[in-house]
Chain A
Amino acid sequence: MTTAKRLCIGVACANPISTLQCPTCLKLGKESFFCSQDCFKTSWVTFSYSPFGLALGLSPYAHYSYSPLNRRDGRRGFRKWLSTGYRLTSLKSEHKIVHKQSARKNPTLLQSLKDLTKPTPLPTDSETGIFDPFPNFPYTGSIRPAYPLSLTRKLPPSIRRPDYSEDGVPRSEQNRGSPKNITILNAEEIEGMRKVCRLAREVLDICAAAVRPGVTTDELDEIAHKACIERDSYPSPLNYVNFPKSICTSINEVICHGIPDQRKLVNGDIINLDITLYHGGFHGDLNETYYVGDKAKANPDTVRVVETSRDCLDEAIKLVKPGMLFRDPGNVIEKLAKQRNCSVVRTYIGHGINQLFHCNPNVPHYAKNKAVGVAKPGMCFTIEPMINLGTHKDTTWPDKWTSTTTDGKMSAQFEHTLLVTEDGVEVLTARFPDSPGGKTPIPGIGRNVEGGDK
């Protein structure tokens, strides 16, 4: 049977534990294993800018007043805080506070309400006004959220909206039914998919052309949002399960679902732009990873992870034809990724797409999965492998969206929406001859990327 390793409870520490324990905790009868004295020292006092969070024993990096999800609905956020925050205790808090908490048990409701009224200073850049809303979160790499987010973008009333656009709940997707029920589109519906996928490709290309050092992800979001409006299309991510922006922008160690904010791109970054449009009643979904500036292409590891991801998608698409089992692409993807010394993210998978943004089938990218279903002409789905330089493991920021690698190493992703045809596959979101980006040779592997290695 597999076992999970026990990790040090120090803040932002992913090392395995040693035999060292905190003496105070031992007296209190609590287990608290650390990896080292240094780590313990770091965890003893961290700057705590969300004191009521700590006082309540709330997750120390959760900062509800600035959470993008609660900004629009403060009352609900407050109720949520009352119901959850009161009962949770977190190990990964300032260690000293842990002692205090166990000494005084749970705070009274009155004390909690008093704490709530106190101001919560955030480490705000005095010149730009930019701040990290979760200053105590143990980030795994160097990317930080750069708030405030821009205001929710508006759309002309004439644009047809999906069912979740008002309250964020994709009701039409909730009753997925049996996994073997996979929608087969008729000729007219297929035309609808062709159209929205072509429009999505156009928007991605426009957005990608703006990628350069110095541009913020929020500016990219605005460019994509406007390009959607020009195409009479709704940007599908906007308010999907309350996602706050129109596209996902995932930089370096961010695996997927990065929220566009005030961070400027830096020479040497890689950025994934994930675009989905809703037009004529259909969704079209694609993403690509781009090198920012000349430094990114000069780093062999960066090129290796980006190109491996691109090749994994291409290899997986070669399988697609009637009769393909949806459990099969994962075997091909994981094999190639391993050959290139990369890993495959397991948590996020490809999905059916049509009148619904996400539906059956599930298409995992890892090997030996039990995915249900066979490809048949008229089915539409995505393949979107996320490939990492280091561990495959992911963690999510307190914004509840941004997914990053747990070791802070880079992650890259490519995605197409595919249609199963009578004798093969049509890549509905295929590149145009003049699309930005494109293949870069991996150093050491040579031009022939397939079979050129090991």
Chain B
Amino acid sequence: MSSDRSDADDEEPPALVSTEISLNLEGLQLSKAPITIVTGYLGAGSACETSSPCSETLLFMLIATETTLLNYILTEQHSKKIAVILNEFGNSSDIEKSLTVQRDGQQVEEWLELANGCICCSVKDMGVAAIEKLMERRGKFDYILLETTGLADPGNIAPMFWLDEGLQSTIFLDGIVTLVDAANIVRTLEDQEASSKDDETGAVVTTAHLQISHADVVVINKADLVTQEEIEVIKQRIAGMNGLARIIVTERGKVDNLGEWLLDLRAYENVGELKTPVRTRLDETISTVSLELPELEEGMLDSLDAWIRSLLWEAEVPGSSKKPGDRDSRKQPILDIHRLKGRVITKTGKVLLIQGVRETFEIFDAPDQNSAMKAEGKLVLIGRGLRDVDVKESLEWFLSRGRES
């Protein structure tokens, strides 16, 4: 028996005291904690050659740009409890993961406990389960920042945290923030060697492309190191790739009204104003396409769902001009949708929203049916291969076919 037991027997528990803090039990209910994926490109270098995007060896690899900004976030948000997770998830072989928790102005290191469990038939990623466990133990975090390594493809990580409502998780995906280095980004986007290896068409897709195409916010950092003209070119190029992302320019990792820009994005709940993207041809690989959606009969929602499935799951653009049999697979351009947002107005006046990241998507009733956003139906697609196909014609054809049947 330990020494702790020896004097335990003769000590009675005291009476509990009632803490009359306004007896507000409702207030003690924990709301869900938002998780923001922070990603950024380190630039070309030896790491690209030695590591795949999912490599476990990248633990604790910190990127100067990101670290500066994250430190800034941690020191600016004194009143908030922010957890910063410094590595990647989805890897089964690591038992513990490190984590930094900002609390009362101090940074506390914590460990995530990853259950062994059955990795493959459990629907929740182990990282998600580990963060939930930690919150059970340490109380709710106000914000969780998941800082991925420089080579991570956020499109692989985001679906893990975009959890089904039915799972009743205590965390939810707030959005993806991508940091780019003003001085290096153009070179990085054109770096042939760092482009994805499985690409057979020759179009260059670097990790930087993937990180920008999935982003809800792009932060152009170290703007002080380049000219104003260069900044404009970078902004144009990014806006041409990802017409939905908010673009922020910072100097030395400092951002004004940080909370407003980087936290509480709710990028997977609201679809925002769905502005029509700028047309530029600065980047040949990734582009944004905006389609107007006519008012749909409720029965047509299934057709719309089927059209999106065809694009996202089969990488096929259904079209009247091509018959299914005679397609030459070699000529078929690679179509890869990274992000999808939309708003559907039905003939009965109901508003539905569409959200998608990579293969995963959802069409759901808009939380706010009376919103002024009701104005028009729209669908915005971000991805590669969108320049080469007429998605507009395809959608119209598909919906008209659905109407006939």
Contact = CB atoms under 8 A, between A and B. Distances in A.
Nearest to B165: A368
B326 interface: no
Query: Top 10 closest A-B pairs, CB basis?
Result: A358-B120, A51-B2, A44-B13, A20-B16, A400-B116, A3-B29, A366-B166, A372-B359, A349-B123, A180-B313
Interface stretch (A91-99, A146-154, A306-314): A91-99
Contact of A55 (B2, B54, B115, B359): B2
B123 A19 contact: no
Interface string A393-404: 000100011000
Interface string A351-385: 10000011100101011111011100000000000
Contact of A19 (B12, B19, B32, B162): B19
B330 interface: no
A43 B171 CA distance: 29
Interface string A64-102: 000001000000000010011001111100111100100
Nearest to A79: B95
A31 B139 CA distance: 10
A173 B93 CA distance: 12
18 contacts: A1-B31, A4-B30, A16-B25, A21-B18, A22-B16, A80-B96, A84-B113, A87-B109, A87-B111, A94-B8, A174-B92, A257-B118, A346-B167, A351-B120, A367-B166, A396-B115, A400-B115, A400-B116
A369 B166 CA distance: 7
B119 interface: yes
A300 interface: no
Given A19-B18, A179-B359, A370 B164 contact: yes
The B interface, classified by DSSP as helix, strand, loop or mixed, is: loop
B121 A348 contact: yes
A368 B54 CA distance: 29
A23 interface: yes
B148 to A, nearest CB: 18
Given A48-B4, A118-B2, A178-B359, A19 B20 contact: yes
Interface string B103-119: 00000011101011111
B170 interface: yes
A20 B110 contact: no
Nearest to B93: A169
Contacts of B362: 370
A37 interface: yes
B305 to A, nearest CB: 9
Contact of B164 (A83, A170, A368, A401): A368
Contact of B358 (A20, A34, A178): A178
Nearest to A175: B54
Contact of A372 (B2, B168, B313): B313
Interface in B335-362: 358-362
Contacts of A91: 137
A19 B19 CA distance: 6
A13 to B, nearest CB: 13
Contacts of A19: 18-21, 23, 25
